[in-house]
Amino acid sequence: MEIINTRRSIRKYTDQSVSDELLVQLLQAAMNAPTARNMQEWKFVVVKNKELQKKMAEAMPNTHMSAHAGACIVVCGDTTIQPKAEYIYVDCGAAIENLLLEAHSLGLGCCWCAVGPNEDRIVPTKELLNLPEHYLPVANIAIGWPAEEKEENHRYDENKVTWVK
């Protein structure tokens, strides 16, 4: 799939806004990812507020792109639905990848900024977004219309593969 191979992290965005309709489309893609035992434990917080985005960027290192993005989507796991943190991480990883691919297919660019498992990011994220105690924020995805171009990925490394026949 060309979309998988041409998707790259985009950290620079134009000032053009991202419509709610497109953001819902990204969330639809995210929620069509599989989850362990089909628990669908994700929760999403969509931030379209430049003041709050700026505070989020200031609170966390290396996430400056959040301030300038058209929107941010914070992907969380609900620990009352899925108590095993490892499943929350692996399930959110799959959901985020769907979101990134859908965004790329629409011409949008994203940057995936980790929140958990770093306590120094989890705490300010929960405070700034007023998240319930049982939400585990896994990542903050900055989304916007790309103001940079990147070349196709070629990360395949046969040394990472063992064949057993």
Which residues would be at the binding site for a copy of itself (CB under 8 A)? 1, 3-5, 7, 9, 20, 24, 27-29, 31-34, 36, 40, 42-49, 52, 84-87, 89-98, 100-102, 105, 112, 114, 116-117, 129, 138-139, 153, 155-157, 160-165
Q: Which two tokens stand for residue 4?
A: 């998988």
CB of 24 to a copy of itself, least distance (A): 8
Q: How many CA atoms lie within 13 A of 40 on its CB side?
A: 8
Can you list the pairs that 104-109 forms with residues at least 24 positions away whose Cβ atoms lie under 8 Å?
104/3, 104/6, 104/7, 105/3, 106/22, 106/25, 106/26, 107/145, 107/146, 108/18, 108/22, 108/26, 108/143, 108/144, 108/145, 108/146, 109/10, 109/13, 109/143, 109/144, 109/145, 109/146, 109/148
Task: Return d(Cα 15, Cα 4) in angstroms, integer.
Answer: 26
Residue 94 or 147: the one with the smaller Cβ distance to a copy of itself is 94
CB of 34 to a copy of itself, least distance (A): 6
CB of 30 to a copy of itself, least distance (A): 9
Residue 116 or 144: the one with the smaller Cβ distance to a copy of itself is 116
Q: Which two tokens stand for residue 7?
A: 């998707």
CB of 58 to a copy of itself, least distance (A): 17
Residue 105 or 147: the one with the smaller Cβ distance to a copy of itself is 105
Q: Which two tokens stand for residue 102?
A: 């859908």
CB of 13 to a copy of itself, least distance (A): 17
Residue 13 or 27: the one with the smaller Cβ distance to a copy of itself is 27
Residue 91 or 145: the one with the smaller Cβ distance to a copy of itself is 91
